[in-house]
Structure 1
Amino acid sequence: MFENLSHPLNLILPAIYIGIGATAIMDVWTLFLKVAFNVSGLNFAMVGRWIGHMPRGKLMHQGIVNSSPIANESIIGWTAHYVIGIIFAAALLLVFGVAWLNSPSLTPALAAGLITVAFPFCLMQPCFGMGIAATKLPNPHITQFKSLVAHSVFGMGLYFSALLGNKLF
């Protein structure tokens, strides 16, 4: 699949494929936790609400759930979730390139997944009104742990999606 990717722009299709695959694996994990253990994940409508308020000049919220709803916030949030997954996959590919694509290994993918947890910890959770790494929540360690696990699963998804891509294409 990934033999003729000498130019960085040629990494776009693999980034899309791998990003969607990794994000879907993360979502299946989240669904499993919900069905098997009643453990809730991120409500992507709140991501859409956050994004929807940005053009109105509002980035920071006291509590995103208390902010006014945005039309189509669920669609916006889910779309953003997958676009962000593609962007993170593209970043991995830009760092490790074709060599990693042709012979994926778990360590760079898992490291990339763990690095991406900085975005919810340092950007989204503070902007949602939760504080850095959810420290304003009553039990921040639970949210922190769930984020770390979810992003580790995303990292494994990057790896497995690249492996599957090599087999299919």
Structure 2
Amino acid sequence: MSITLANKDDRTSLLILSVVLGIAATAFLDAVNYLQHIILDKPLTRYEFIGRWVIYMTDGVFSHQSIKAAPPKAGELMLGWVGHYAIGIGFALLMLIFTGVKWVLKPSFLPAFIVGFATCSIPFFLMYPGMGYGIAGLHTPNPAMLQSKVLLSHFIFSVGLNAAGWLLSRRIQDAYNA
């Protein structure tokens, strides 16, 4: 399989690269989380709560006292996982909008890190308050633990995004040199 960019600013390339990079970086994050679960007995992320939150939004309910206490909804786990990967694709798209698809030709960690760090604001100021955890998880028993988990997860995503970009750049350079 070879990957080519007919036009470095081509919108189709932007979308395709966002999907590839976003899925790869999110899968890397999930693999690291799973290894932490096996080695450190760290609980896995409960994506059904994200799905539940999104489903309730379609009913006009945007905020909860506790998303965990809200009655479960059909399809919430699947929607949570799909949403998790869609968010990863969106983060990759955001980075490529700012850097241009040329980033894939010569990836650097700084743009991936900036996107990873900046997007911590989404769980801190949107998701957690909407799920009943408060701004930055301040209504949880251990806010500092939750905040550090978010920062670490977004850093791991950044590493995965950069690694995926580096691997993809090798394929693209091979295609250009062929």
TM-score bin, normalised by smaller chain: over 0.9
Distance in 1 between the 2:84 and 2:4 partners? 25
AA aligned to 2:81 is: W
Which of 145, 148, 152 is residue 149 of structure 1 equivalent to? 152
* Alignment partner of 1:163 is 2:171: no
> Residues 95 and 38 (structure 1 numbering): CA distance in 2 closer, same or farther, change over 3 Å?
same
Number of matched residues?
169
- How high is the TM-score relative to the length of structure 2? 0.91
Alpha-carbon distance, 1:3 to partner: 3.6
2: CA distance between counterparts of 1:7 and 1:168?
A: 18
CA contact (8 A) 2:9 2:100 kept: no
Scaled by the length of structure 1, what TM-score is found? 0.95
Task: Give 1:19's aligned residue.
Answer: 22
Please list every run of at least 4 consecutive aligned residues from structure 1 whose deviation after the TM superposition is greater than 6 angstroms.
Answer: none
**1:22 and 1:158 in contact (8 A); partners too:** yes
Map 1:4-15 → 2, pairs under 5 A? 4=6, 5-15=8-18
Superposition pairs of residues 7-156 of structure 1, within 5 angstroms: 7-156=10-159
Distance 1:2 1:95 in 2: 20
Match of 2:175 in 1: none
Residues 2 and 144 (structure 1 numbering): CA distance in 2 closer, same or farther, change over 3 Å?
farther
Question: Which amino acid counterpart does residue 63 of structure 2 have in structure 1?
Answer: M
RMSD: 1.2
C-alpha separation in 1, matches of 2:171 and 2:72: 42
Structure 1 segments unaligned to the other structure (5+ residues): none
- C-alpha distance in 2, partners of 1:26/1:142? 18
Deviation at 1:2, TM superposition (A): 5.3
Deviates more, 1:31-40 or 1:17-26: 31-40
- Work out whether residues 26 and 157 of structure 1, in 8 Å CA contact, stay in contact via their aligned partners in 2: yes
Structure 1 counterpart of 2:150, one-letter code: S
- Work out whether residues 52 and 80 of structure 2, in 8 Å CA contact, stay in contact via their aligned partners in 1: yes
Question: Gaps spanning 5+ residues in structure 2: where?
Answer: 173-178
